[in-house]
Chains A and B, each alone.
Chain A
Amino acid sequence: MTETSERDTGRVNELRLPALKIDQGRGRSLFTFAVDGKLVPEIATVSRIRRDRNTELHGYQRPEVLSHVAAIRRYIETDASPLLPNAIVIAFDERVRFESAPGDVPEAPGYVRAGTLVIPLIDGPEHERPGFIVDGQQRCAAIRDARVDRFPVSVNAFITSETSDQRSQFILVNSTKALPKGLIHELLPGASGALPTPLRVRQLPATLLERLNFDSLRSPLHRMIQTPTNPGGYIKDNSMLRMLENSLSDGALYRYRNDNGLPRTGEMLSLLYNFWAAVQEVFPDAWNKPSRKSRLMHGAGIISMGYLMDAISHVRDNGQELVSTEEFVADLKTVAEDCHWTEGEWTFLDGAVRKWNDIQNTPRDIQRVADLLQNRYRVPQLR
């Protein structure tokens, strides 16, 4: 329902949009309305940060994050029912005005009025637009580039003539804390539909982790992985996710991915249950303790054990049935003497000697532990 009307000059049009004026107190008003996202560039621009010749600061917005814009655009173009529920935030200057609708709505609260927001359409360079995008520039850019005829969005606007005012609002809306990764990972198995690509790829490992953590009947790792709803677990969810991802891309779980259909999670889980039950059996003293008391429960332990699972599966695999707990136990015992999860010293392949609790959760240490165990497992078969 956009209406444009010609003024006497014949050059300046205006956009008249149904809107609500909300009084938030102390003279501040917020205007909320809907507009086709394709029209946003006509009424608002982005004020990019830069310095002029006198090193005076102008603007505040960062450049578009092209990969992010492309992801939103793809979503708008390809999803069956795309939804952008968040409102764009625009700061208008005083050329924009609100006209209250005639007549009072009985029993309406006093802080909100219906009416029309009148936005002048200025033909000219971008910086003469009446509005600046304070929040939502990536979404606006995505709608601008998307191959769709229109995509109406919700807008929240305020009126100010001060750049400093826009700047502080920009900082306020953009300095919120990102969601904790652990919460996202715990939500992933039960999420559906459009997700950012990196998270879609993590859905499968997150689903396996959930079963490992909450299958009370079969999982040897029942409630041992720390997540927001299971804060008492000693194993960091990230360590377990990385172990699963390694095996899914390059190890024993890869063959069950089944890229043409649904992943065969049943087989994946059976193999994981068999393996971790064997780890529990071979290293009872290091099992289910905080990582300061047992390095088996810590990144280096979990990830290097994962590589061992892949190596043993490779050697034991006969193409028929899954490697059993007993088989895993037999092979884990061949390297058990070289492991020092809770006491003593590791002697690594590069000659370095490290106390058991000097092992850190760093790529370097993980690699050293992993290489040592792989070597101890493989070399007797070579020589």
Chain B
Amino acid sequence: MRFFFPDSQDQVDPTFDFVTEEHDPFRVRQRDDLYAHEVLTGAPFDGLLVSKAIVDGQVGSSAGKYTVAQRHRLYREGARRFFRLDHGNTPLKIMGDCGAFSYVSEVEPPYTVNEVIDFYHGCGFDYGISVDHVIFQYDPAASSDEAEQKGWAKRQRITLELAEKFRDRCDARGVTFTPYGVAQGWSPESYAAAVEKLQDFGYRHIALGGMVPLKSRDILACLAAVKPVLKDGMEVHLLGVSRCDDVPRFTEGGVTSFDSTSPFRQAFKDDRDNFYTPSRTYVALRVPQVDGNAKLKARIRSGEIGQGKAIELERKALDQLRRFDKDDTDVEAVVEALREYSDLWDGKSDRSSQYRETLTDRPWRDCSCDLCRKHGIEIAIFRGSERNKRRGFHNLYVFEQQVRARQARKDPA
């Protein structure tokens, strides 16, 4: 089972100072920053998944993850150099897709087959996924008339036509990447039918798309329908897994690789599961910046609360956390400082008991990843992207270890 991490320009700045919270003013973004595979001694994934939609920005809006200058550089230098894939200890693979969720509301995909091949081929990708169109709904009971009426069947036809064209153009152009054909569907049977078609076009690599919103049991039902029609030696990639607990069962269903942002994003998007450990997850300790929290800022601007008070409570919380990491104060004093500040910026939820668990167990002390060793308690603080992304990288590390461990147990070879 191989794990690909979808990139959206997530890096950390090694010059960032956790005490003063300042960056080196002359740092050049992306060039001086580090990817997860550069920060961690062993890369926490087998490769990166790069979406054309992320690189080019949303259709019709200028704000993308990449500056125009960075995008041109990626096209110029190619992905290996741009993402510094050979910089870590393990050389990584790179896979490209179109990022079909970004244009799910369009009638047709906005990219031509040729320009997508230019993107994969020009950037020197190892694998390229055919242009597809997501079917957002799932209804195993739908009749073929219903699927036609709701436009699902049409989206599947578009995806298959593009996959056929993609395959032909790749062959004609003699590309260096391995093409993957995408199957889109709305039920186990429709997915199985799409997979059969893709095999007829000559694909040996298949990606299953549109499954992000599906429940695990629905995904497993689709895999169960797909598995019998798979030819020997087929590679199957599952696009966008959100429930990582089920990865072992996906493997049994014939999946050979998948991608997921979940471990990374949960570090700063989830309400509870922010900090991964092999046995459980923990809540990260929330200390937002006084001038980084929009709600708090507005209340200060309106004169409702004093800025001095907010700064005082923020500093006290940080100070208590750091003292705690030096065994210089106790859990209750820290929880109290966090709660006092939280009453000011949040005022709704009381996370004291969850904070108590995180502080009592100090999971960062038991973690052997480079980031936990280097930053200690800072990595468990929910505050600003430098800390949050580092925690995301740590989660990737833990997650990858778990995937490996489960595989080893299943596969004593």
Q: Which residues of A contact B (CB under 8 A)?
A: 48-51, 58-59, 62-64, 66-67, 70, 197, 200-201, 246-247, 249-251, 254, 257, 259, 307, 310-311, 314, 349-350, 363-364, 366-367, 370, 374-375, 378-379, 382-383
- When distances are taken between beta carbons in the complex, the residues of chain B under 8 Å from A378 are 75-76, 122
- B24 (CB) vs chain A CBs: closest residue: A259
Q: Do A382 and B118 form a contact, CB below 8 Å, given A250-B69, A314-B76? A: yes
**How far is A314 from B69 in the complex, measured between Cα atoms in Å?**
14
| Interchain CA distance A379-B290 in the complex, whole Å | 49
Contact pick for A66, options B30, B72, B121, B291, CB 8 Å: B291
Q: How far is the CA of A59 from the CA of B301 in the complex (A)?
A: 12
Instruction: Say which size band chain B's interface belongs to.
Output: 20 to 34
- A246 and B68 contact, CB distance less than 8 A: yes
Chain A residue at smallest Cβ distance from B292: A66
Contact A49 B303 (CB under 8 A): yes
A48 pairs with B303, CB closer than 8 A: yes
Assembly CA distance A84 to B30 (angstroms): 36
Say yes or no: A307-B72 contact (C-beta < 8 A), given A50-B303, A66-B291, A383-B173: yes
If A246-B69, A363-B62 touch, whether A374 touches B25 (CB-CB below 8 Å) is: no
A324–B70 alpha-carbon span in the complex (Å): 25
Smallest CB separation, A312 vs chain B (Å): 10
B76 CB contact (under 8 Å) in A246, A310, A382: A310
Q: B327 on the interface (CB 8 Å rule)?
A: no
Chain B contacts for A62, CB-based, 8 A: 301
CA distance A195 to B26 in the complex (A): 13
Chain A residue contacts of B115, Cβ below 8 A: 349
User: Which residues of B are found within 8 Å of A307, using beta-carbon distances?
Assistant: 68-69, 72
Chain B residue contacts of A70, Cβ below 8 A: 20, 22
- Asked whether A379 and B76 contact (CB < 8 A) given A250-B70, A367-B68, the answer is no
CA distance A247 to B62 in the complex (A): 20
Ranked nearest first, the 10 interchain pairs of A and B with the lowest CB-CB distance are: A50-B303, A250-B69, A246-B69, A363-B62, A250-B73, A197-B25, A66-B291, A63-B307, A314-B76, A63-B300
Nearest CB on B from A105, distance (A):
43
Question: What are 8 A-B residue pairs whose CB atoms fall within 8 Å in the complex?
Answer: A51-B302, A250-B69, A310-B73, A311-B72, A364-B62, A370-B68, A378-B75, A379-B118
Interface residues of B in 66-104 (CB under 8 A from A): 67-70, 72-73, 75-77
Q: Report how far A224 CA is from B216 CA in the complex, Å.
A: 63
B236 to chain A, nearest CB (A): 29
- Known pairs A62-B301, A257-B28; list 9 more (Cβ under 8 Å): A48-B307, A63-B300, A70-B20, A250-B72, A251-B73, A307-B72, A310-B76, A314-B76, A350-B110
Min CB–CB distance B383 → chain A (angstroms): 14
The listed residue (B30, B72, B302) touching A50 by CB distance below 8 A is B302
Is B271 engaged at the interface, CB distance under 8 Å to the other chain?
A: no
Closest beta carbon of chain A to B327's beta carbon, Å: 26
Cβ of B150 within 8 Å of any chain A Cβ, yes or no, is no
Please name all residues of chain A whose beta carbon is closer than 8 Å to the beta carbon of B75 when the two chains form the complex: 374, 378
